[in-house]
Structure 1
Amino acid sequence: MSWKSRLDIDALTAIDVHTHVHRSVRARSGEGLDEMLESMSDYFGSGGVTGHTVPEIAAYYRERRMAAVVFGVDSAADSDEMVPTNEEVAELATEHADVLIPFASIDPARGASGVRAARRLIEDYGVQGFKFHPNTMGFYPNDRVAYPLYEVIAEYGLIALFHTGQTGVGAGTPGGGGIRLKYSNPMYVDDVAVDFPDMKIILAHPSFPWQDEALSVATHKPSVYIDLSGWSPKYFPPQLVQYANSLLRHKVLFGSDYPVITPERWMSDFEKINIKPEVRPLILKENAVKLFGLETGGVGTSGGEATP
């Protein structure tokens, strides 16, 4: 069964465009997950992050009258198959389509098999976008190795979401756990926006230390948006707040990075920063509704057919 939105948009208080699924209901998580979550918990000051399954995330957001985009993060270097799999995330999100929107994640290093998997996930499971983490995947977003995947995403009118800026993954461990920050400069995504002008792109997170680059790309390229996940709003750079209130008011999206930052913590701090009253509902819900095409049931066609 393919995902199709059952969201009651009017009843929702917010749409969180950035949440992580770390636990499977069908298989044991890979070794090292607990250590990774512990280090990220320390980095974000979250305290005891354990990770959640798709049904647990659905229950959490349903209780708060919010919707959430859910995904795992693939890495071909870590294992042959991510756990939970893209298929599990999509199938369970379909069961909870009143609150969840499924994304997938495919490391470009998977090559032709990854491209085939992307098409199958779109056509058979109804995923609405793809999450890329250049740091953990070890690639520059404008590397041509990723372009066959982008071609599929663009063909179906879906969304590519890129981690940008510093990451909590590996933070504080020797050598940063082998994670190289250089891959996550949002300026590399500018090339992608040029080469795929109709593909919707989200730059995830305030892009420290490249915030100005992110603002420049999002201002210059009509298809590029910014989500505000991974940071407490009280730490947002002043220029990000300025642009969110003005030039990018229709292109900035609420995201928490749950579970390392909870919506409650994010919302509490968001209330205290200088965002104009008329802009708040745009960021919390309305911009996502339009970007995701939720007025008509989902991004693209939601039925497994390519956009004409």
Structure 2
Amino acid sequence: MSGPQAVVIDFHAHIYTDDMAPKAISSVKRRMGVRVPGLGTVSDLKESMAKAGVERSVILPLAPLPRHVGPTNDFFIAAAGNGDGLIPFGSIHPFQEDLEEELDRLLASGVQGVKAVPFMQRFYPDDPRCDRLYDGVAERGMLLLLHAGKVPEDLPEFFGTPDRFARMAKRHPDLVVVLAHLGGWEMWSAVREYLIPAEENVYFDTAYISPSLSSEEAGDLIREIGADRVLFGTDYPWTDQAEEIEFVEGMDLPAREKRMILSQNARRLLFL
């Protein structure tokens, strides 16, 4: 199983409008000083998928403020509308007034999950004020994907820490949550302490771990988590999809577990 022959689902990719993509990438390069191999447009993502052998990509929006949620979701639903491999998640803000209405609108459009970003939207995952979001997502049978841990930028606080996610998951056993970046980017010792023993409803994706972990280190952590709880994610355009597939294939894991990570777990969660 390698490269274009592999059947792969990327559970964590980002897109922007053609106008916004160059600005977003330029901003990240300037602020974080990181390599950005993708262009961030719909057309470039599709080319990347074809080259890497990625069958489907879950596209994840970002909405810093409640007023950004609706227009952002409109763009993502439209971008995935022709059914050629893009699976849209919706943006959501835990404190927006029309939260339930927006979840219903997304569900009616065929959207199966939503993403929230603690450090960007400035909320603590274990804040009881977020229960409205968690209950709304769980009641509708949707998935919740959350940025977890740090980012490659010097911020005073990151809000989404493994201990807070563990408390959230314990309080909401009916909520199926996916924590990006193997549960907490550059907070993996805390992932081991708090999240590996957490509820069975907690899943982890592999997005953007390769800049910080070797295949050996990542494989060790995945063995502790359990491969049945791990989803392949790239964080496109911030990493190269083909390179990220090779990163997973380089892990010292059984081929069966690599298949689970690269596609089977995602198929199960997305009912594909």
* Further displaced range: 267-276 or 32-41: 32-41
Q: Tell me which residue corresponds to 1:57.
A: 45
Q: Tell me which residue corresponds to 1:203.
A: 179
Pick aligned residue for 2:168 from 192, 208, 216: 192
Q: Tell me which residue corresponds to 1:116.
A: 101
The alignment status of 1:90 with 2:77, answered yes or no, reads yes
* Further displaced range: 275-284 or 206-215: 206-215
| Structure 1 residues not aligned, in runs of 5+ | 1-10, 295-308
Give me the whole-angstrom Cα distance separating, in 2, the residues matched to 1:246 and 1:238. Answer: 13
Give me the whole-angstrom Cα distance separating, in 2, the residues matched to 1:247 and 1:50. Answer: 32
TM-aligned CA distance change 1:210 to 1:65, over 3 Å: closer
The alignment status of 1:15 with 2:9, answered yes or no, reads yes
Pick aligned residue for 1:271 from 237, 246, 249: 249
Q: Output the amino acid matched with 2:92.
A: I
User: 1:39 deviation in Å?
Assistant: 3.2
Give me the whole-angstrom Cα distance separating, in 1, the residues matched to 2:25 and 2:215. Answer: 31
Q: Tell me which residue corresponds to 2:138.
A: 154
TM-aligned CA distance change 1:278 to 1:212, over 3 Å: same
- The DSSP-based 3-state class of the residue aligned with 2:207 is coil
| Structure 2 residues not aligned, in runs of 5+ | none
The total of aligned residue pairs comes to 265
Pick aligned residue for 1:36 from 3, 27, 30: 27
Give me the whole-angstrom Cα distance separating, in 2, the residues matched to 1:18 and 1:187. Answer: 23
Give me the whole-angstrom Cα distance separating, in 2, the residues matched to 1:146 and 1:286. Answer: 30
Greater helix share, structure number:
2
Give me the whole-angstrom Cα distance separating, in 2, the residues matched to 1:152 and 1:189. Answer: 17
Give me the whole-angstrom Cα distance separating, in 2, the residues matched to 1:30 and 1:241. Answer: 32
Give me the whole-angstrom Cα distance separating, in 2, the residues matched to 1:248 and 1:105. Answer: 28
Q: Output the amino acid matched with 1:94.
A: G
Q: Among all aligned residue pairs of Structure 1 and Structure 2, give the percentage whose two residues are the same amino acid.
A: 24
TM-aligned CA distance change 1:102 to 1:151, over 3 Å: same
Q: Output the amino acid matched with 2:17.
A: R
User: 1:139 deviation in Å?
Assistant: 0.8
Q: Tell me which residue corresponds to 1:165.
A: 149
Q: TM-score, normalised by structure 2?
A: 0.85
* Further displaced range: 251-260 or 213-222: 213-222
- The DSSP-based 3-state class of the residue aligned with 2:98 is helix
Contact 2:196 2:224 in 1 (8 A): no
**Runs of 4+ off more than 4 Å:** 236-240
Q: Tell me which residue corresponds to 2:56.
A: 67
The alignment status of 1:130 with 2:118, answered yes or no, reads no
- The DSSP-based 3-state class of the residue aligned with 1:153 is helix
